[in-house]
């Protein structure tokens, strides 16, 4: 056990079961988990995942003073040269916006801040005073205002990017792929419940519990077998806070600039990558009544939980094909 591994994750967090080795540690304001099919490859995989997570955090964490995304914000609309990681994160966010018709948009950072999510989640006041009328919600400026030219990016003055809707999932995809490549092992990476897989697959596939909270260990929760690709869940139940008597959550509807009011409280999607899964889960939540049709049209296996707890499955999600509770 190297000092580096011990620093990232205490040895007592390592678990070996069914020939899989797993380790968890706090990262990106949530929990990172790495599982490998070859226990001897755990340290190599962990190092790679930790490095990828750190690179993404340094590029896109809008609450970190030294983050690159903060330099964009401070540039006042000027072109800024960015790292390949941030450029890729912004590109992915813009592609997600394009392919969801703007339902998932990176320019909602200002709306999130105005609602009270303006610092690291651990420091956000869960029960703050009511928002002033001057802080009335307005639609997001929209992703088309962001310009990319090679390694330079320009964001209009006053526009705050929030890459959270795609960044964490993209990080999971990238980390899993790179860890599998360098370790030679099958790798599963979960970043706060955004699950990506790469490399060889355990017998049958990766078993993933589906829950509304990624910390759940409910033995009755449905299980999904993932042979390849990613799984992601978006929910309005987590990262909720109050401003006066008004509840807010982190899933922002770019069309209104405020927390999405949806028929669904939780949506889980499986896709060829965690990035696509997370994007489409968020898009379905924001789309509300149209979310089910959106996912069905995309032919993605998905499980939607309505506000009243009714469960609906589409796109060949195993086990349940019609709405039920």
Partner 1 sequence: MLLQWWVARLIGMANAFEARQHRRTAGIRRLRRLSGWTAAAVVVAVAGVSAMVGELLPGRHAVPTTVSGSAGPATGDDGAFTNGDGGSVGPAPAGALPAATSGAS
Q: Scanning residues 220 to 279, which ones bind partner 1 (CB under 8 A)?
A: 221, 223-235, 237-239, 266, 268, 270-273, 275-277, 279
| Using rule CB under 8 A, residue 48 touches partner 1 | no
DSSP 8-state symbol, 108: G
Please calculate the CA angle 25-26-28 and round it to the nearest 5 degrees.
Answer: 130
* Residue 197 lies near partner 1 (rule: CB under 8 A): yes
Stretch that binds partner 1, among 67-75, 125-133, 151-159, 311-319 (CB under 8 A): 311-319
Binders of partner 1 among residues 119 to 148 (CB under 8 A) are none
The piece of 43-51, 58-66, 111-119, 217-225 that touches partner 1 (CB under 8 A) is: 217-225
> Closest CB to partner 1 among 212 and 290?
212
Assess 117 for contact with partner 1 (CB under 8 A): no
What is the Cα–Cα distance from 227 to 212, expressed in whole angstroms?
Answer: 22
Stretch that binds partner 1, among 6-14, 69-77, 154-162, 296-304 (CB under 8 A): 296-304
The tally of CA atoms less than 13 A away on the side-chain side of residue 125 is: 10
Strand, helix or coil at 109?
helix
CB of 101 or CB of 158, closer to partner 1: 101
Tell whether residue 102 is a contact of partner 1 (CB under 8 A): no
Q: Smallest distance, Å, CB 188 to partner 1? A: 5
Of the pair 77, 181, the CB lying nearest partner 1 is at: 181
Question: Taking CB under 8 A as the rule, does residue 193 contact partner 1?
Answer: yes
Two structure tokens written together for 101: 């018709």
The C-alpha angle with vertex 96 and arms to 279 and 136, in degrees rounded to 5, equals 85
- CA–CA distance, 142 with 149 (Å, rounded to integer): 18
Q: Among 170, 252, 263, 287, which residue sits at the site for partner 1 (rule: CB under 8 A)?
A: 170
313 binds partner 1 (CB under 8 A): no
Q: What Å distances lie between residue 120 and 28, 29, 30, 112, 113, CA to CA? A: 10, 7, 11, 12, 11
Q: Could you give the angle at the alpha carbon of 193 between the alpha carbons of 226 and 62, nearest 5°?
A: 135
Q: Is 49 in the site for partner 1 (CB under 8 A)?
A: no
Among 35, 115, 161, 248, interactor with partner 1 by CB under 8 A: 35
Question: Does residue 113 interact with partner 1 by CB under 8 A?
Answer: no
What the block records as the tokens of 242 is 């109050």
Q: Is 190 in the site for partner 1 (CB under 8 A)?
A: yes
Distance CA 322, CA 313 (A): 6
71-101 in b/e form (b: 16+ CB < 10 A) is ebbeeeeeebebeebbbbbbebbbbbbeebe
Would you say 235 or 259 has its CB closer to partner 1? 235
**How many amino acids of this chain bind partner 1 (CB under 8 A)?**
90
Show the tokens assigned to 144: 């088309």
**Judged by CB under 8 A, does residue 14 bind partner 1?**
no
Q: How far is the CB of 120 from partner 1 (least distance, A)?
A: 14
């Amino acid at each position: 056990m190297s000092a580096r591994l011990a620093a990232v994750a205490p040895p007592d967090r390592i678990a070996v079961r069914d020939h899989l080795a797993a380790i968890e540690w706090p990262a990106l304001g949530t929990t990172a988990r790495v599982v490998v099919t070859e226990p001897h490859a755990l340290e190599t995989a962990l190092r790679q995942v930790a490095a990828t997570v750190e690179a993404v955090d340094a590029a896109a964490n809008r609450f970190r003073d030294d983050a690159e995304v903060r330099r964009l914000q401070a540039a006042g609309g000027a072109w800024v040269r960015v790292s390949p990681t941030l450029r890729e994160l912004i590109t992915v966010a813009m592609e997600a916006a394009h392919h969801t018709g703007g339902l998932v948009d990176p320019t909602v950072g200002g709306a999130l801040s105005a609602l009270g999510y303006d610092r690291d989640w651990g420091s956000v006041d869960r029960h703050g005073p009511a928002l002033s009328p001057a802080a009335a919600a307005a639609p997001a400026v929209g992703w088309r205002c962001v310009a990319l030219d090679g390694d330079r990016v320009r964001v209009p003055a006053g526009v705050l990017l929030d890459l959270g809707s795609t960044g964490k999932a993209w990080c999971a995809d990238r980390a899993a792929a790179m860890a599998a490549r360098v370790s030679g092992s099958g790798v599963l990476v979960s970043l706060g419940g955004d699950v990506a897989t790469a490399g060889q697959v355990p017998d049958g596939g990766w078993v993933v519990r589906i829950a509304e909270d990624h910390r759940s260990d409910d033995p009755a929760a449905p299980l999904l077998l993932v042979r390849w690709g990613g799984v992601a869940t978006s929910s309005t139940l987590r990262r909720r806070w109050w401003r006066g008597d008004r509840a807010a959550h982190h899933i922002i509807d770019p069309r209104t600039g405020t927390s999405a009011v949806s028929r669904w409280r939780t949506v889980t999607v499986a896709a060829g990558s965690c990035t696509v899964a997370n994007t489409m889960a968020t898009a379905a939540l924001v789309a509300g009544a149209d979310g089910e049709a959106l996912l069905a049209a995309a032919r993605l296996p998905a499980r939607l939980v309505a506000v009243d707890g009714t469960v609906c499955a589409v796109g060949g999600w195993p086990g349940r094909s019609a709405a039920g509770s």
